[in-house]
Amino acid sequence: MAEKIIMLALSPTMETGTIVKWHKKEGDDISSGDILCEVETDKATMDYESTTEGTLLKITSAAGSQVKVGEMIGIAGKPSEDISGLLKQAEPIVRKTETQKKVAGNEPVSDKLQNITPSEKEHAPYGVRASPLARQLALESGIDIQSIKGSGPGGRIIKQDVERVTAQGGQPETFTKEQFQQKIPLSDKRRIIAQRMTQSMISAPHFYLTIAVRMDYLVNSRNSLNSSIKSKITFNAFFIKLVAEALRKNPIVNSSWAEDFIIRHSSIDIGLAVAQKDGLITPVVRDCANKGIVAIDSELHDLVQRGREGRLSLQEYTEATFTISNLGSYGVRQFTAIINPPASAILAIGEIFDELSFSADGGYQKHHSMLMTLSCDHRVIDGAIAAQFAGDLKNMMENPITVLY
């Protein structure tokens, strides 16, 4: 008997998915475990595996369609089986990815851009689009074309618009600021980020601790290590390892709120916030307390690279017990970060900067310094516990040798 193939939730926060590519075509035999298509979720592009056996009789959601969890994407059954009843139940999928959305004049965005001449493309970002004839007439009339309101498709300025302004004596037309505003539709990823961060701020009472760290010893240790091995170890690998050791000493910080109880995690799994072109993702290095810096760096390098490409599996970017957000490479000296559930804390790391201090002989000496801000969920972590964790982490960063005993 023919049955629906529905969009499954491929991540805990997934509400809709965009079908990127079908790997099977209508008429192909399918078995349980076969990859039917690729689906872009709110975090990554993932393989959709078949849970049924038979023949793919109909694809009801083509590549590019945005489909809600639970909606039909195809029909499977036996060859020549009557599927007319199921087809009647299928609602046409009209949600499209942004590159497929329509604009004024019912013309796809991509087609409109192809139809703009080079001179028009130059002005397109500022909302000024005009036909070559309209530009020529405006030039001959001494009228600033940016002062003309277009009546053509998509607000394009045409000959009649220039003639209208000319008939008015060339006086510039008035515009509202809304005419120059760009409305950017929300992607699934941006919508989920907004929902999760809002939920975190509302449900978790945040408080913050900022500590200043002398980074000379850590900078010198990293330089020494990098000079003795082939690869270049990142500061993030050092931060992850030292944070893991501080969490080992302060296990309550490595915990989660669960309404009726607190979960104290047995494994220290640290996520690192990584920017993507349309949001962010948090690759997770598992069991960090039992890994060395070189091993952490190697694993982190692979996770970050695949994270930026949207190729992480669900298990590789969820359920971090602690998170680090490092904006130091952007020149940010200090900031606060929103806790990434289910963790109860997140560490915001700023840039390493030079700072002068008094020396013992009354002179000055230069130091490498860094500011870190710890965001905590007060339901789980009290101020004194957070301060103890921050103090232990500061001591480990300033004297990494203390980690050995």
Report the distance separating Cα 88 and Cα 8, nearest Å.
21
Band (405; pLDDT cuts 50, 70, 90):
low
Interval 234-251 mean pLDDT: 96
Mean pLDDT confidence for 245-272? 96
pLDDT of residue 47: 87
CB 93 within 8 A of CB 61: yes
Q: Once rounded to an integer, what is the mean pLDDT over residues 92-104?
A: 43
Q: Is the pLDDT of residue 277 over 90?
A: no
Asked if 77 contacts 2 with a C-beta cutoff of 8 angstroms, the reply is yes
Higher pLDDT, 121 or 136: 136
Residue 202's pLDDT is what? Answer: 93
Catalytic residue numbers, as ranges: 378, 382
CA 232 to chain centre: 26
Mapped to the 3 state alphabet, what secondary structure does the chain carry? CCEEEECCCCCCCCCEEEEEEECCCCCCEECCCCEEEEEECCCCEEEEECCCCEEEEEECCCCCEEEECCCEEEEEECCCCCCHHHHHHCCCCCCECHHHCEECCCEEHHHHHHHCCHHHHHHHHHCCCECHHHHHHHHHHCCCHHHCCCCCHHHCECHHHHHHHHHCCCCCCCCCHHHHCCCCCCCHHHHHHHHHHHHHHHHCCEEEEEEEEECHHHHHHHHHHHHHCCCCCCHHHHHHHHHHHHHHHCHHHHEEECCCCEEECCCCCEEECEEECCEEECCEECCHHHCCHHHHHHHHHHHHHHHHCCCCCHHHCCCCCEEEEECHHHCCCCCCCCCCCCCCEEEEEEEEEEEEEECCCCCEEEEEEEEEEEEEECCCCCHHHHHHHHHHHHHHHHCHHHHHC
At 314, the pLDDT band (50, 70, 90 cuts) reads confident
| Residue 278 near residue 187, CB atoms below 8 Å | yes
pLDDT of 61 higher than 60: yes
How much is the pLDDT for 97? 43
Sequence-distant (≥ 6) Cβ neighbours of residue 362 within 8 angstroms: none
| Higher local confidence (pLDDT), 174 or 75 | 75
Q: Which of 257, 241, 252, 274 is nearest to 396 (CA)?
A: 241
* pLDDT given for residue 297 in this prediction: 95
Q: What is the pLDDT of residue 127?
A: 45
Average pLDDT (117-141) is 62
Which position has the higher pLDDT, 99 or 399? 399
Q: What is the pLDDT of residue 128?
A: 63
pLDDT score of 397: 94
Please, which residues have CB within 8 angstroms of residue 359's CB and are 6 or more apart in sequence? 365
Single out the residue of 95, 30, 17 nearest to residue 58, CA to CA. 30
Query: In this model, does residue 104 exceed pLDDT 90?
Result: no
Is 286 or 123 the better-scoring residue by pLDDT?
A: 286
Encode pLDDT of 195-232 as tens digits.
889 999 999 999 999 999 999 999 998 998 888 887 79
- pLDDT of 267 over the 90 cut: yes
CB 349 within 8 A of CB 327: yes
Q: What confidence tier does 288 reach under pLDDT thresholds 50, 70, 90?
A: very high
Q: How far is 404 from 245, CA to CA, in rounded Å?
A: 10
Is pLDDT at 156 greater than 90 in this prediction? no
Q: What is the pLDDT of residue 134?
A: 84
For the entire predicted model, the pTM comes to 0.65
Q: Tell me what pLDDT residue 105 has.
A: 40
Does residue 155 carry a pLDDT above 90? Answer: no
CA-CA distances (angstroms) from residue 328 to 210, 226, 352?
15, 20, 7
Residue 94 has pLDDT above 50, yes or no: no
Residues paired with 352 in a beta bridge: 370
Q: Please report which confidence band the pLDDT of residue 174 belongs to, taking 50, 70 and 90 as the band edges.
A: low
In this model, does residue 93 exceed pLDDT 80? no
User: What is the spatial distance between Cα 197 and Cα 319, in angstroms, rounded to a whole number?
Assistant: 15
**pLDDT, average across residues 137-159:** 81
Query: What pLDDT score does 373 carry?
Result: 98
Residue 181 has what pLDDT? Answer: 66
Q: Which residue has the higher pLDDT, 156 or 316?
A: 316
Angstrom distances, CA of residue 32 to CA of 50, 54, 55, 314: 5, 9, 11, 20
The pLDDT tens digits for 175-191 are 555 655 677 777 777 88
Task: Give residue 377's pLDDT.
Answer: 97
- The fraction of the chain above a pLDDT of 90, given in percent, is 50
- Tell me what the pLDDT averaged over the chain comes to: 84
Residue 59 clears pLDDT 90, i.e. is over it: yes
Render pLDDT for 13-49 as a digit per residue (tens, 0 to 9): 788 888 989 999 999 999 988 999 999 887 778 889 8
